Amino acid sequence: MVALTPPARILIVDDDADAIDLLSHALGELNVAIVGTTDPRGALRLFEECRPDLVLLDLVMPDLDGFQVLKALRATIPAGAYLPILVVTGHPDPAARLAALAEGASDLITKPYDLIEVALRVGNLLQTQALHRQLLRRQADAVSEAREQATQRELAAAHARNEFLSRMSHELRTPLNAILGLVTSWTCPAGRWRKPRTSGRSCRPDVTCWT
């Protein structure tokens, strides 16, 4: 059995303290950190404090049964998150076990249970959760990369547009300056249009005067 790295956190909720000790011992090879409680009323508080990677939950308990705990836990799990909940119970009614699965339990094992089987099921659920988290990270990285590429494309497009406008502005200014120069050469200092004088020297060397 492969140990998990880093250690996964497991919350065990069972009114039988001996059962918690037994399960903790069976899961020792998985390199997990375990928090257990025999009071189901404190399960939600412990869950919020330690944020476990997996929950082992008994169904038949006093004060607050496993169905109520399961419902309360599921209500706190964000949409899209994967929190495996393994129900461990000796409940004789098959309908109760089916109801637990319908309520959101990831898997179910019946007492008296085989400790090796429990460890294997827990390990499989934790591996599935690790893969789920890896997939979410890859999706987040892909979204971030796509946004970065879109930003780079927008910057490149803006740069190309500015280059084009600058080039067009230069091309437009060149013939316009030539036209303005031609118009100036045909304009007298007073700015009036006259018939060119056919004889005599010009008013200025660079200006054609008019009569």
pLDDT band at 185 (very low <50, low <70, confident <90, very high): low
pLDDT (0 to 100) of residue 53: 93
How far is 159 from 201, CA to CA, in rounded Å? 54
Is 202 or 172 the better-scoring residue by pLDDT?
A: 172
Report the percentage of the chain scoring pLDDT > 70. Answer: 72
Tens of pLDDT, residue by residue over 70-117, are 999 988 888 778 899 999 888 778 888 888 888 889 999 988 888 899
Can you name the residues that pair with 210 across neighbouring β-strands? 196
**Which stretch, 71-75, 126-130, 142-146, 154-158, has highest mean pLDDT?**
71-75
In this predicted structure, the answer to whether residue 41 has a pLDDT above a threshold of 60 is: yes
Burial of 50 (0-12, 13-18, 19+ CB in 10 A): middle
Residues contacting 132, CB < 8 A, separation 6+: 82
Model confidence at 201, pLDDT cuts 50, 70, 90, reads low
* Distance separating alpha carbons of residues 159 and 9, to the nearest angstrom: 51
CA–CA dist 192, 189 (Å, integer):
8
Q: Is the pLDDT of residue 190 over 70?
A: no
SS3 36: strand
The hierarchical CATH code for the domain 8-139 is: 3.40.50.2300
Q: Between these two residues, 157 and 1, which has the higher pLDDT value?
A: 157
Tell me the domain boundaries of the chain: 8-139
**Which range, 13-22, 74-83, 143-152, is most confident?**
13-22
How many angstroms separate the Cα of 66 from the Cα of each of 8, 38, 43, 91? 22, 12, 10, 11
Q: What separation in angstroms does the CA of 12 have from each of 16, 84, 95, 211?
A: 10, 12, 23, 111
Q: What mean pLDDT is reported for the chain?
A: 79
Whether the bond into 52 is cis, omega within 30 of 0: no
Using DSSP's 3-state secondary structure scheme, residue 204 falls into strand
Scanning the chain, the segments in alpha helix (DSSP H) are 17-26, 43-50, 66-76, 94-103, 115-185
